[in-house]
């Protein structure tokens, strides 16, 4: 039982924080050192993250590398970490982006460098923490804390409208997640009599499971069959939809789904390259991840009821986002809206509740992180050179920046899901899952429209920026990518190819969580072949100490009360 058997996740999560402390000690004038230390930290974190990824045993138990100690117990919380297939994959994505983000910012960020890297490291920790949290409140804490560094990143190092964008981003997200907080506490209370309650994901889910099954049984039964419910099932019947709504809203804003997406373009456009990369790469996934892990499994019946509605929103997101891109003049805005479209695929795959769909959705999360991350990265390079985001200010620069163009076009193909790139696998699986699902065929058909529009807007942008003759004199002497920039871009391109040609190793890790997700989500579906309990129940380690479950503190012995 070595140190890493128990603490690997802790190491991965808090390593950036340790390095943040180191950076804090450096004098602010030592730019080089600050950057180096941060980079080294991220690199180390990548190493450990990869290790964790390979330690994860697809055929093993659902949650692995668990770590749990008592923390704030009177309140039903415990410090509980653990990752399943999806979480570990997203974790890999996060640590993968880390060092590249640092490299990407070396020339982009020119003032207040120390603060920037501090924010970067803290942000990394919060994101990793959110992914690995097995305690709902712990997740919430990381989920919220994540906002602060990102808010600063957008607001301090952003473009001209940064303050507006930062505040908008913060409040937009806050409103949703606060309502979710209420729902979390509420579900904690209904989850059982005092003594059996806990904010721990496993326990919470298992407490609700039986009731959910009853509820599903009656909800798909005759009209008014649910009136006879009692106890937890009855409470879920009345309040479940509301709680689900609260969860769904919080995560839908994060995804972002139409129509609560308008914070995204502003945030993306204003954020510095690092901000955009992380925002697109990891943060948006928190929304889909939340749906996958919390919103849908905890309230399968309500989720199933809301499914068509959400699916419609997702499809609207796909097509609408793509159409938005066609109307943009601003490259970053275009990429931002393309995110709306891509995340629409993720949501659709989730809501299809089929093995293919869910897998595709999970894979699409990774793809989007890579392709859109890379797009923002590359555009960042361009922005450093020209300081304009308007397509009309470019044109024909392929002549002067051939290598850059090649990289950009490759990523573009990945983003429009040309077979052989990673994008295709995800999109194909999602669409097939949608067709296979119980959703009407129209959903799939409309979603597939995105395939056309995607090509239309991305190539349009490439055309306007890179092809044709050079229209602006400023562009005539643009310098092509230097070694550092190539090194930053190369990993993305490699991954695009690798994940496109050999997706199976990645899919293998996602598969077990997919099956469980589908099983848990289809608890609410009518006539769905109900999986066995061992598929449904969440098996997690219990607290080492006996006081695993939170007992509300009962007042000390009856006092010298007179009456």
Partner 1 sequence: MNLPNITLAEFLPMLPAIIMVVAASVLLLSEVFLSATASRGYQAVLTVVAAVASGAVAVGLMFEPPREVFLGFGVLDPFSSFLTLVVSVGLGLAALSAVGFLRRRGAERGEFYALMLFASAGMSLLAMSSEFITIFVNIEVLSIATYALTAYLRRGTRPSEAGFKYFILGAFSSAILLYGTALLYGATGTTKLNDMAGPLQQALSTSPALVYVGAVLIAAGFAFKVAAVPFHMWTPDVYEGAPTPVTALMSAGVKAAAFASLVRVFITVGKGMDPKLPLMLFATLALLTMIAGNLMAIPQRNVKRMLAYSSIAHAGYLLLGVAALFVAAPGEHFRLLSASSLSGGTPLDVARSDALRGILYYLLAYTFSATGAFAMVSALERREDEEKGTAWDLERFAGLAQRRPGWAFAMAAFMLSLGGIPPTVGFMSKLLIFQAAIDVGLVGLTVVAVLSSAAGAYYYLRVVVYMFMHPIPEGAQPLERNWGTEAALVIATVAVVLLGILPGHVTDWLAQAGTLFGQ
Partner 2 sequence: MDGITEFFRTAPIPPEVFSPSLGLIILLPLLGAFVCGVFGKWLGRANVHLVACSAIAGAFVLSLLAFWATSDAAGGRVVSMPNPFGIERDTIRYAIAHDYGTWFAAGDFRVNFGLLVDHLSGILLLIITGVGFLIHLYSTSYMEHDDGYWRFFAYLNLFVAAMLTLVMADNLVLLFVGWEGVGMASYLLIGFWYTDSAKAWAGRKAFVTNRIGDFAFLIATFLLILTVGAFNRQADARDFNAAGSSRARYEQGISQKGPVTFKGLEKLALALPEGTGGAVSLATPIESGPLSGYTFGGVMTSIMLLFLLGAAGKSAQLPLYVWLPDAMAGPTPVSALIHAATMVTAGVYLFCRMSALLVLSPTAMATIAIVGALTSLLAALIAFAQDDIKKVLAYSTVSQLGIMFMGVGMGVFWAAEMHLMTHAFFKACLFLGAGSVMHGNGDETDIKKLGGLWKEMKVTHATFLVSTLAITGIFPIMSGFFSKDAIFHGVHHNHLHGLEWVSTFVYVMGLLITAATAFYMSRVYLLTFTGKRSPEAKLAHAHESAWHMTLPLVILAFLAFITFTYALPLMPRTGGGTQPVFENFLSPVLRPAETVARVAETVHIDTSSPSLGDYAFAWMWALLGGGAAAFAYLKFFPSRVGQPVPVFARAVRRTAQNKFYVDELYEFILIRPVKFLAFILFRVVDALVIDTVLVRGTAYVTEKVGLGLRRIQTGDAQAYAAIMALAILGGAVYALVQVLS
Q: Does 240 bind partner 1 (CB under 8 A)?
A: no
Cis check: omega of the bond before 256, within 30 degrees of 0: yes
Which is nearest to 213 in space by CA: 495, 533, 513?
A: 533
- Alpha-carbon span 419 to 349, nearest angstrom: 19
CB 247 to partner 2: min, Å: 21
CB 524 to partner 1: min, Å: 21
Site for partner 1 in 195-224 (CB under 8 A): 197
Which residue in 140, 205, 244, 404 binds partner 1 (CB under 8 A)?
A: 140
Q: Choose between 235 and 328: whose C-beta lies nearer to partner 2.
A: 328
Which residue in 145, 312, 323, 459 binds partner 1 (CB under 8 A)?
A: 145
Listed in sequence order, the residues at least 6 apart from 148 whose beta carbon sits closer than 8 Å to its beta carbon are: 122
CB 182 to partner 1: min, Å: 6
CB 138 to partner 1: min, Å: 10
Choose among partner 1, partner 2, none what residue 193 binds, the Cβ cut-off being 5 to 8 Å by kind.
partner 1
- Alpha-carbon span 133 to 66, nearest angstrom: 10
Sign of the torsion formed by the C-alpha atoms of 245, 250, 256 and 261 = positive
- Alpha-carbon span 159 to 454, nearest angstrom: 27
Write the DSSP string, 295-318. IHHHSHHHHHHHHHHHHHHHHHHH
CB count in 10 Å sphere of residue 160 = 9
The residue assigned the tokens 């390079």 is: 381
Q: Does 144 bind partner 1 (CB under 8 A)?
A: yes
Give yes or no for a contact between 481 and 377, defined as CB atoms under 8 angstroms apart.
no
- Alpha-carbon span 113 to 396, nearest angstrom: 34
Which residue in 186, 217, 316, 459 binds partner 1 (CB under 8 A)?
A: 186
- Alpha-carbon span 35 to 105, nearest angstrom: 9
Which residue intervals of 133-228 are DSSP H helices? 136-145, 147-157, 162-190, 201-219
Which residue in 189, 402, 452, 526 binds partner 1 (CB under 8 A)?
A: 189
- Alpha-carbon span 120 to 114, nearest angstrom: 10
Q: Choose between 37 and 410: whose C-beta lies nearer to partner 2.
A: 410
Q: Per the structure block, which two tokens stand in for 67? A: 């770590």
Q: Per the structure block, which two tokens stand in for 11? A: 């190491």
Q: Choose between 164 and 218: whose C-beta lies nearer to partner 2.
A: 164
Choose among partner 2, partner 1, none what residue 119 binds, the Cβ cut-off being 5 to 8 Å by kind.
none
Which residue in 25, 227, 441, 560 binds partner 1 (CB under 8 A)?
A: 560
- How many residues does the structure list for the chain? 563
Query: Which residues of this protein are in contact with partner 2, per CB under 8 A?
Result: 168, 171-172, 259, 262-263, 320, 323-328, 354-356, 359-360, 396, 398-399, 406, 413, 418-420, 424-425, 428-429, 431-433, 435-441, 444-445, 448-449, 451-452, 455-456, 459-460, 463, 466-469, 501, 503-504, 507, 511, 514
Stretch that binds partner 1, among 60-68, 140-148, 343-351, 450-458 (CB under 8 A): 140-148
- Alpha-carbon span 487 to 311, nearest angstrom: 40
Q: Does 305 bind partner 1 (CB under 8 A)?
A: no
Site for partner 1 in 61-90 (CB under 8 A): 71-72, 74-75
Choose among partner 1, partner 2, none what residue 326 binds, the Cβ cut-off being 5 to 8 Å by kind.
partner 2
Residues that bind partner 1 (CB under 8 A): 71-72, 74-75, 112, 115, 137, 140-141, 144-145, 147-148, 151-152, 155-156, 162-163, 166-167, 170-171, 174-175, 178-179, 181-182, 185-186, 188-194, 197, 232, 235, 239, 552-556, 559-563
């Amino acid at each position: 039982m070595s140190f890493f058997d128990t603490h690997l996740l802790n190491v991965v999560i808090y390593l950036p924080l340790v390095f943040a402390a180191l950076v804090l000690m450096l004098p602010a004038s030592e730019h080089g050192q600050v950057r180096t230390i941060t980079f080294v930290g991220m690199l180390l974190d990548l190493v450990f993250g990869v290790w964790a990824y390979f330690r994860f045993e697809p055929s093993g138990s659902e949650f692995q590398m668990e770590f749990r100690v008592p923390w704030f117990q009177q309140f039903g919380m415990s410090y509980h970490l653990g990752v399943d297939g999806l979480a570990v994959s997203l974790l890999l994505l996060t640590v993968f982006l880390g060092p590249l983000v640092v490299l990407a910012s070396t020339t982009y960020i020119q003032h207040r460098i120390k603060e920037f890297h501090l924010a970067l490291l803290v942000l990394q920790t919060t994101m990793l923490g959110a992914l690995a949290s097995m305690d709902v409140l712990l997740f919430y804490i990381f989920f919220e804390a994540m906002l602060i560094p990102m808010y600063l990143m957008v607001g301090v190092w952003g473009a001209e409208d940064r303050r507006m964008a930062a505040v908008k981003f913060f409040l937009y997200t806050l409103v949703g997640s606060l309502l979710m907080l209420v729902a979390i506490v509420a579900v904690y209370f209904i989850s059982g009599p005092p003594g059996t309650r806990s904010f721990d994901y496993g326990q919470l889910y298992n407490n609700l499971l039986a009731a959910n099954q009853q509820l599903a049984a009656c909800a798909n039964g005759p009209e008014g069959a649910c009136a006879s419910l009692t106890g937890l099932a009855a409470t879920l019947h009345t309040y479940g939809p509301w709680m689900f709504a609260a969860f769904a809203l919080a995560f839908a804003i994060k995804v972002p789904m139409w129509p609560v997406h308008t914070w995204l373009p502003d945030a993306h456009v204003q954020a510095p390259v690092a901000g955009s990369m992380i925002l697109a790469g990891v943060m948006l996934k928190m929304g889909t991840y939340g749906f996958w892990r919390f919103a849908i499994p905890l309230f399968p019946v309500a989720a199933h009821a809301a499914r068509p509605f959400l699916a419609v929103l997702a499809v609207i997101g796909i097509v609408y986002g793509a159409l938005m891109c066609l109307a943009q003049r601003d490259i970053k805005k275009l990429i931002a809206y393309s995110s709306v479209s891509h995340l629409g695929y993720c949501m659709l795959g989730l809501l299809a509740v089929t093995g293919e769909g869910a897998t595709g959705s999970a894979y699409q999360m990774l793809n989007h992180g890579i392709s859109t991350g890379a797009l923002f990265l590359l555009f960042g390079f361009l922005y450093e050179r020209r300081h304009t985001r308007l397509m009309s200010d470019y044109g024909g620069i392929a002549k002067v920046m051939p290598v850059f163009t090649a990289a950009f076009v490759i990523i573009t193909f990945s983003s429009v899901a040309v077979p052989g790139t990673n994008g295709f696998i995800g999109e194909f699986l999602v669409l097939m899952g949608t067709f296979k699902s119980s959703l009407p065929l129209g959903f799939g058909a409309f979603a597939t429209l995105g395939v056309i529009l995607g090509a239309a807007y991305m190539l349009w942008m490439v055309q306007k920026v890179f092809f044709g003759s050079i229209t602006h004199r400023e562009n005539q002497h643009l310098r092509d990518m230097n070694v550092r920039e190539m090194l930053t871009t190369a990993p993305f391109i490699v991954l695009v190819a690798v994940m496109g040609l050999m997706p199976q190793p990645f899919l293998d890790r996602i598969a077990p969580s997919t099956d469980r997700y589908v099983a848990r989500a289809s608890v609410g579906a009518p006539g769905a072949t109900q999986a066995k309990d061992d598929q449904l129940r969440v098996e997690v380690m219990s607290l080492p100490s006996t006081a695993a479950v939170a007992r509300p503190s009962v007042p000390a012995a009856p006092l010298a009360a007179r009456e």
